[in-house]
């Protein structure tokens, strides 16, 4: 069995066009300047946009991918032979829809059906010897891609992998969520709050590189995971929270940890009423079962719901924040649901080493939990 | 990993209503408001599993080249014409619903993944399943190649077909049609040829692109050389058969099959 570390990462999201600016912005946001941040983001619509001008959707798609992949490769410092060993996983919900919209809505032609153009573009950037694997499981896509790569490295079948999560603005997805009445009208993201009126979408592209050895003391190790299927509904989770609760417990078992070893649960916390309530119920049941609690971190008010890419985005933001000794507070939370007694982290916490369970939920009943740590005592 | 059953379906084009008719003869599942891509996947997966005892928790891999192409086209036209997207049209462009419907229709509780790649996507999905099996992540798999014809989208694409071809595999020998003994990927023909010289086999089955390269592949002259896809390979497997699928970059999957 090999160990699995996140040895490099990069991100472009509403907070910033690269990792450094994203983390600086992430750590600088507070209740006083949050409104100003949102006003900058939501110039056209309540949507967390990447703060950069692009010629068109195609320019945004490919130039962002190129920059994010290039930054991660540079940070990982992989020479050509090592890049040839990279197994590449792409994870997204909307995949190429923004590109299809660009061609169809502007010129009435439908170019680039299928994913060949995306695959070819990435193959030109990275000299990998292996075919790219595209994984789509809705909002758990990047989580599941990470898990697949983790299993392969852990079992010494491969040495290193790159997971690319991406989600770019497109009308089809925005209007689709609007038609399901899942979008917030107030423009205020309030996950787990009784008065939440929906979610706010966002775009982002991020990359994590997984390797079988640690390259820096800041590298987080993946120490366990769990996945399961909630057969309740295509668009919502079972209100009893059972599948999510089982996912939490199975992930802890997989990591050989007890609940008390966790410092944080990074909740999915979409903001939609049903999913909010289901996940909050699962967390409450976990705390009740354990007769204890841990801090709950929610990141979507900072970058929006970035759908299939949210796992890589949120893993990068939180692990980089911990490396800077801070876990930011959950914004906009005021009042819990009836019967829910926990409150998401309500003030920033100073901490330099942590074990975190990241949880993600997707349309179609997909649940995924991944446990990461940078504590030397808990690295397996 | 044992192949318990398979079902291969290819047809030039049928619309939603025709698939609903076909499905009504094999399932009581409520088919209202289900997209063509999902109907197609249901048709193949139900047929592939109708005569076998299905594990309650298999992993589903849905291999697709173009995913919900008809459904995306419909949404794009709506956006262009009316600027609105209907809820079920939106749900239809999300492939993750496919696994949910298959689970419900088959009465199973299955994690599902929609998988794509540059090509050889069914072989890629088989590789993922084989890794899961080796890594003890899962013990049973429902794997299907699903794509719908694009004839409604462009005349240029009229040659594409409706396709829903599925296999069910698990870890038990009883009632199986063949054993997948090994599955390897080779990043060049040289690496493939080196490996071929180290193993013995009776039959060797090449997919269409590999057939074009057969002069460059070091095939044992005493073996039976056949041409076809993975389903053909399963049907024509004898003890120690090899199936080779190669892509345009001359990279290959080599699947070692055995009958029991």
Residue A378 has pLDDT above 70, yes or no: no
Pair A144, A365: CB distance under 8 Å: no
The verdict on B102 and B207 lying in the same domain is no
Q: Please tell me the total count of domains within chain B.
A: 2
**What span, in angstroms and rounded, lies between the C-alpha atoms of B84 and B212?**
48
Greater model confidence, A99 or A379: A99
For A316-367, the pLDDT digits (tens) are 999 999 999 999 999 999 999 999 999 999 999 999 999 999 999 998 889 9
Residues A155, B111: C-beta atoms closer than 8 Å = no
| Residues recorded for chain B | 260
pLDDT at B259: 87
* Minimum CA–CA partner of A176 in chain B: B90
pLDDT tier for residue A380 given thresholds of 50, 70 and 90 = low
The verdict on B229 and B116 lying in the same domain is no
- The CATH number of whichever domain residue B94 belongs to comes to 3.40.47.10
For A88-123, the pLDDT digits (tens) are 999 999 999 999 998 888 877 776 678 989 999 999
CA–CA min distance A235, chain B (Å) = 9
B contact test, residue of A4, A365, A367, A368 with most B CBs within 10 A: A365
Structural domain boundaries enclosing B47: 2-170
Give the end of a domain, one of B117, B140, B170.
B170
Which CATH number applies to A223-373?
Answer: 3.40.47.10
Residues B69, A113: C-beta atoms closer than 8 Å = yes
**Record: fold of A5-211:** Peroxisomal Thiolase; Chain A, domain 1 (3.40.47)
A contact test, residue of B57, B72, B109, B246 with most A CBs within 10 A: B72
The verdict on B194 and B132 lying in the same domain is no
pLDDT at B156: 63
Burial class (CB in 10 A: 0-12, 13-18, 19+), A326: middle
pLDDT at B155: 56
The verdict on B106 and B11 lying in the same domain is yes
Task: Give the residues across from A265 on adjacent strands.
Answer: A296, A357
Q: Does B95 touch chain A (CB under 8 A)?
A: yes
DSSP 3-state assignment of B185? strand
**Cα-atom radius of gyration of chain A, to the nearest Å?**
19
pLDDT at A114: 82
Tokens of A82: 């090592």
**What span, in angstroms and rounded, lies between the C-alpha atoms of A60 and A53?**
8
- Give the C-alpha distances (Å, rounded to integers) separating A347 from A260, A261, A276, A335: 21, 21, 21, 15
Pair A303, A189: CB distance under 8 Å: no
pLDDT at A234: 86
3-state SS, chain A, equals CCCCEEEEEEEEECCECCHHHHHHHHHHCCCCCHHHHHHHHCCCCCCECCCCCCCCHHHHHHHHHHHHHHHHHHHHCCCHHHHHCEEEEEECCCCCHHHHHHHHHHHCCCCCCCCHHHHHHHHHHCCCCCCCEEEEECECHHHHHHHHHHHHHHCCCCCEEEEEEEECCCHHHHHHHHHCCCECCCCCCCCCCCCCCCECEECEEEEEEEECCCCCCCCEEEEEEEEEECCCCCCCCCCCCHHHHHHHHHHHHHCCCCHHHCCEEECCCCCCHHHHHHHHHHHHHHHHHHCCCCEEECCHHHHCECHHHHHHHHHHHHHHHHHCCEECCCCCCCCCCCCCCCCCCCCCEECCCCEEEEEEEECCCEEEEEEEECCCCCCC
**What span, in angstroms and rounded, lies between the C-alpha atoms of B1 and B145?**
19
**What span, in angstroms and rounded, lies between the C-alpha atoms of A34 and A40?**
10
Within 202-231 of B, beta carbons closer than 8 Å to A belong to none
- Give the C-alpha distances (Å, rounded to integers) separating B122 from A177, B40, B125, B147, B163: 31, 16, 5, 11, 12
Per-residue pLDDT, averaged over A190-211, amounts to: 96
**What span, in angstroms and rounded, lies between the C-alpha atoms of B36 and B68?**
8
Average pLDDT, chain A: 95
**Which residues of chain B carry a pLDDT beneath 50?**
none
Task: Give the residues across from B179 on adjacent strands.
Answer: B2, B258
The verdict on B122 and B185 lying in the same domain is no
Q: Where in chain A do CATH 3.40.47.10 domains reside?
A: 5-211, 223-373
Give the end of a domain, one of B170, B186, B215.
B170
Element (H or E) spanning B246, and its range?
A: strand B241-246
**What span, in angstroms and rounded, lies between the C-alpha atoms of A370 and A220?**
12
The verdict on B36 and B139 lying in the same domain is yes
The verdict on B7 and B113 lying in the same domain is yes
Q: Does B151 touch chain A (CB under 8 A)?
A: no
For A232-278, the pLDDT digits (tens) are 888 889 999 999 999 999 999 999 999 999 999 999 998 888 889 99
Q: Evaluate if pTM is beyond 0.90.
A: yes
The verdict on B28 and B56 lying in the same domain is yes
CA–CA min distance B120, chain A (Å) = 9
B contact test, residue of A84, A92, A113 with most B CBs within 10 A: A113
The verdict on B251 and B186 lying in the same domain is yes
The verdict on B27 and B73 lying in the same domain is yes
Residues A229, B117: C-beta atoms closer than 8 Å = no
| Residues recorded for chain A | 380
The verdict on B36 and B162 lying in the same domain is yes
Give the end of a domain, one of B170, B200, B229.
B170
């Amino acid at each position: 069995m090999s160990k699995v570390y996140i040895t490099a990462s990069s991100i472009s999201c509403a907070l910033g066009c690269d990792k450094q600016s994203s983390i600086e912005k992430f750590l600088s946001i507070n209740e006083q300047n949050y409104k100003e941040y949102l006003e900058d983001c939501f110039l056209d619509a309540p949507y967390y946009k990447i703060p950069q001008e692009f010629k068109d959707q195609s320019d945004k798609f490919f130039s962002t991918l190129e920059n994010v992949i290039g930054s991660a490769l540079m940070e990982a410092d992989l020479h050509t032979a090592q890049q040839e060993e990279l197994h590449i996983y792409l994870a997204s919900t909307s995949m190429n829809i923004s590109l299809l919209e660009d061609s169809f809505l502007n010129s009435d032609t439908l170019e680039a059906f299928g994913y060949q153009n995306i695959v070819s573009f990435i193959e030109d950037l990275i000299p990998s010897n292996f075919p790219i694997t595209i994984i789509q499981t809705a909002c758990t896509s990047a989580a599941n891609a990470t898990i697949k790569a983790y299993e392969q490295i852990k079992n010494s079948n491969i040495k290193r992998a790159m997971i690319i999560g991406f989600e770019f603005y497109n009308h089809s997805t925005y209007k689709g969520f609007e038609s399901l009445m899942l979008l917030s009208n107030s423009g205020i993201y309030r996950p787990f709050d009784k008065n939440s009126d929906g979610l706010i979408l966002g775009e982002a592209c991020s990359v994590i590189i997984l390797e079988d050895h640690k390259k820096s003391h800041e590298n987080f190790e993946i120490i366990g995971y769990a996945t399961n299927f909630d057969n309740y509904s295509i668009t919502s989770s079972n209100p009893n929270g059972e599948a999510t609760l089982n996912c939490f417990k199975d992930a802890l078992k997989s990591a050989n940890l007890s609940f008390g070893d966790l410092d944080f649960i990074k909740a999915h916390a979409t903001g939609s009423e049903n999913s909010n309530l289901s996940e909050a119920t699962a967390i409450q049941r976990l705390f009740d079962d354990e007769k204890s609690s841990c801090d709950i971190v929610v990141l979507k008010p900072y970058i929006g719901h970035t759908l299939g890419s949210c796992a890589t985005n949120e893993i990068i933001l939180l692990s980089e924040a911990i490396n800077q000794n801070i876990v930011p507070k959950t914004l906009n939370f005021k009042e819990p649901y009836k019967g829910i007694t926990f409150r998401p982290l309500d003030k920033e916490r100073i901490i330099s080493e942590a074990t975190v369970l990241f949880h993600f939920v997707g349309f179609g009943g997909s649940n995924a939990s991944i446990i990461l740590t940078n504590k030397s005592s808990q690295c397996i | 990993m044992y192949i318990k059953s398979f079902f291969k379906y290819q047809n030039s084009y049928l619309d939603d209503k025709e698939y609903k008719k076909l499905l009504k003869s094999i399932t009581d599942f409520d088919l209202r408001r289900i997209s063509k891509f999902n109907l197609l996947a249901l048709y193949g997966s139900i047929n592939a599993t109708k005569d076998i005892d299905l594990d309650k928790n298999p992993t589903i891999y849905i291999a697709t080249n173009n995913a919900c192409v008809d459904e995306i086209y419909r949404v794009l036209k709506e956006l262009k014409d009316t600027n609105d997207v209907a809820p079920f049209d939106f749900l239809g462009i999300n492939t993750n619903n496919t696994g949910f419907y298959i689970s419900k229709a088959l009465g199973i509780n299955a994690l599902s993944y929609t998988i794509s790649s540059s090509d050889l996507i069914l072989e890629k999905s088989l590789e993922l399943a084989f890794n899961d099996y080796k890594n003890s992540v899962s013990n049973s798999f429902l794997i299907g190649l699903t794509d719908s014809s694009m004839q409604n989208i462009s005349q240029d694409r009229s040659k594409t077909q409706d396709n829903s071809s599925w296999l069910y595999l698990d870890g038990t020998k009883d009632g199986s049609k063949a054993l997948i003994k090994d599955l390897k990927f080779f990043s060049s023909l040289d690496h493939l040829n080196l490996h071929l010289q180290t193993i013995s086999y009776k039959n060797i089955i090449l997919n269409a692109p590999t057939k074009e390269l057969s002069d460059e592949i070091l095939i044992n002259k005493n073996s039976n050389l056949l041409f076809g896809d993975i389903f053909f390979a399963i049907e024509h497997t004898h003890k120690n058969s090899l199936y080779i699928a190669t892509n345009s970059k001359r990279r290959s999957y080599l699947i070692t099959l055995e009958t029991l």
